[in-house]
Structure formats: structure tokens, C-alpha cells
């Protein structure tokens, strides 16, 4: 098979006489501030301990916004691998996941590798984000990649592409009702399952401080207190919601320059971000 792994900066590769355009890695300033244990679990799943061993394909499961993608990205960076994120949707087709034919300027057809296939070829990490939004037809195209075969077959390009030994994959799955059931033959290939829960108050405060270093301490404490009460009732409000609330409240407090009480503006920010139902988790003490 004519498949020499390209460098991270090469944009094209020829496989079996077919030229494939590659994507580029995602670069973010993501830092994992949560529990160290789940990071260790993920890194262990990717570990190869023998020449006959292969990495596992872990799935990160939890409520939307608890940091699944951040964790996977940070873990990949910890082992110095480029990261390619593929956002899954209900409309994701097998060719979207693999290799897509596009019409070039001359009217001919060229082939473009997805984030997943680019990661396979370059030996990076692919994060399939919100993967349980995909249909079974799309999952079926990944079956050989997720077992000992570690390859994909692109029908549109007429190619079989093997994964670089350094390739790793992780899927994130939201623990909510707006998703498809994963086929059992795929489910058994996505192991282990690593569950992310809501962060503790101190972790939540550290995350707020990391994302909004300019934030006043009183705003931070108010938002963390609100989130912790919501978590205790298993409400689906996350640190992402908290960041949005805190950011908007800080803007309102700054723009009004003391013309309104900060607590009233924080209360308003919560309602405008999450709706009136969030009032149940606003304490009278605040």
C-alpha cells in the first residue's frame, strides 16, 4: 500500500494513486482543571503496552457542558499529539466521516479527508464530538477502524486507508435524550466508558477563574453557589452556563457602573441565560 505518513504541515498525500487533501489540527487553549482520575483513565485507554497490543477507543459520557471535549483535547496534548475534532450531527453521512469528493475549479473531482481520516494518516488524535447523534449507517462505516483491523474503506474514493500506529480516537457522548441508540456491535468497540460528573464547588470556581480571570470574586461565588444548588437537584445546568452567566453579569455591572445592585444584575443574568425556571436555584441569601 502506497501510504507514507505525511508531516503535520503537509496538506496532501497520495494513497494507491489517489491524491487526498488533508485537514489541519485544531488549536485551542483548553486546559483540564477537573478530576485527575478521569484524565488518568483516558490516558491508560490509549496506552500500548506490547507489540501485540492496540489502543482502546474510550467514550466520555456526561451531561452537556461538563468538559468532555476539553478533557479529551487536554489528554491528547499531554501526550504531544495533534488533535482533530469532528462534530457529529444527525445528518452526518459516511462520506462526511471519511473522504468527501468535491468539485475543483477546473470541474474535476478531488478528494478531501475528514478530520478523522486526517488524524488516522498523521497519527494524531480524533475526537468524535457528540458521537451518539449519528445514525447507524454512519457508525457502520467505522466498524473496522474500531477493532483490531484499524482501517476504513472509502467507497467514494475506492480506497482502504489504514490507521497510523500512533492514531488514537475518543468519542464524547451527551447523557441526554436527544440522541440515537448506539448499535451493540459499535457499543462493544467503544470501551472503556469514562463518566464525567458535575464538578465540585472548588473545581467549578477554578474553571470560572481560568476562563474569566478578570471576574470579581463575589460574582464567582454567586455563580458557583447557584450551580451547586442546581447540581444537587440533578438539573442540567453546567459550568458552560455558569461562564455565560458570569460573563454577562460582569458586562452589565461594568456598563451600569454602580447604578444597579450587583445581586439584582446577577439574578437577571441567570434568568436571561437559563429562563425563569432557574429561579428555583437562586438562594434568598444571595
Pick the CATH number of 12-196 from 3.20.20.70, 3.40.50.300, 3.90.1150.10, 3.90.70.10: 3.40.50.300
Q: DSSP label at 65?
A: T
Whole-model pTM? 0.85
For residue 37, count CB atoms less than 10 angstroms from its CB and return exposed for 0-12, middle for 13-18, buried for 19 or more. exposed
Helix (H, G, I), strand (E, B) or coil at 244: helix
Locus of grid cell 474510550: 58
pLDDT (0 to 100) of residue 3: 52
Distances (CA, A) of 13 to 20, 27, 142: 5, 22, 21
Q: d(Cα 250, Cα 261) in Å, to the nearest integer?
A: 12
pLDDT (0 to 100) of residue 181: 79
pLDDT (0 to 100) of residue 8: 52
> Dihedral through CA 138, CA 144, CA 150, CA 151, nearest 10?
-70
Distances (CA, A) of 71 to 43, 54, 143, 195, 251: 10, 21, 24, 11, 29
The 3-state DSSP composition of the chain as helix, strand, coil percent (nearest 5) reads 40, 20, 45
Give me the residues of the chain with pLDDT under 70, please: 1-10, 176-179, 258-259, 284-286
Q: d(Cα 112, Cα 252) in Å, to the nearest integer?
A: 45
Amino acid at each position: 500500500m502506497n501510504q507514507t505518513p505525511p508531516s503535520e504541515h503537509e496538506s496532501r498525500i497520495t494513497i494507491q494513486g489517489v491524491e487526498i487533501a488533508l485537514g489541519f489540527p485544531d488549536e485551542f487553549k483548553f486546559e483540564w482543571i477537573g478530576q485527575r482520575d478521569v484524565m488518568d483513565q483516558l490516558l491508560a485507554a490509549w496506552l500500548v503496552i506490547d507489540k501485540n497490543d492496540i489502543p482502546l477507543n474510550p467514550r466520555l459520557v456526561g451531561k452537556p457542558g461538563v468538559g468532555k471535549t476539553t478533557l479529551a483535547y487536554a489528554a491528547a496534548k499531554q501526550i504531544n499529539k495533534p488533535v482533530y475534532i469532528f462534530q457529529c450531527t444527525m445528518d452526518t453521512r459516511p462520506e462526511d466521516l471519511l473522504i468527501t469528493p468535491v468539485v475543483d475549479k477546473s470541474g474535476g473531482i478531488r478528494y478531501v479527508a475528514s478530520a478523522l481520516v486526517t488524524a488516522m494518516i498523521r497519527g494524531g488524535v480524533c475526537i468524535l464530538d457528540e458521537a451518539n447523534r449519528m445514525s447507524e449507517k454512519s457508525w457502520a462505516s467505522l466498524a473496522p477502524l474500531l477493532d483490531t483491523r484499524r482501517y476504513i474503506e472509502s467507497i467514494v474514493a475506492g480506497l482502504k486507508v489504514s490507521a497510523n500506529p500512533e492514531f488514537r480516537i475518543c468519542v464524547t457522548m451527551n447523557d441526554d435524550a436527544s440522541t440515537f441508540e448506539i448499535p451493540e456491535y459499535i457499543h462493544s468497540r467503544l470501551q472503556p466508558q469514562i463518566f464525567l460528573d458535575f464538578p465540585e464547588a472548588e473545581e467549578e470556581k477554578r474553571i470560572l477563574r481560568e476562563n474569566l480571570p478578570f471576574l470579581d470574586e463575589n460574582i464567582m461565588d454567586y455563580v458557583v453557589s447557584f450551580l451547586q444548588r442546581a447540581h444537587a437537584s440533578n438539573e442540567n445546568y453546567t459550568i458552560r452556563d455558569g461562564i455565560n452567566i458570569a460573563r454577562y453579569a460582569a458586562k452589565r455591572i461594568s456598563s451600569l457602573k454602580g447604578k444597579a445592585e450587583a445581586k439584582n444584575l446577577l439574578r437577571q443574568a441567570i434568568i436571561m441565560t437559563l429562563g425563569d425556571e432557574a429561579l428555583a436555584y437562586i438562594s434568598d441569601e444571595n
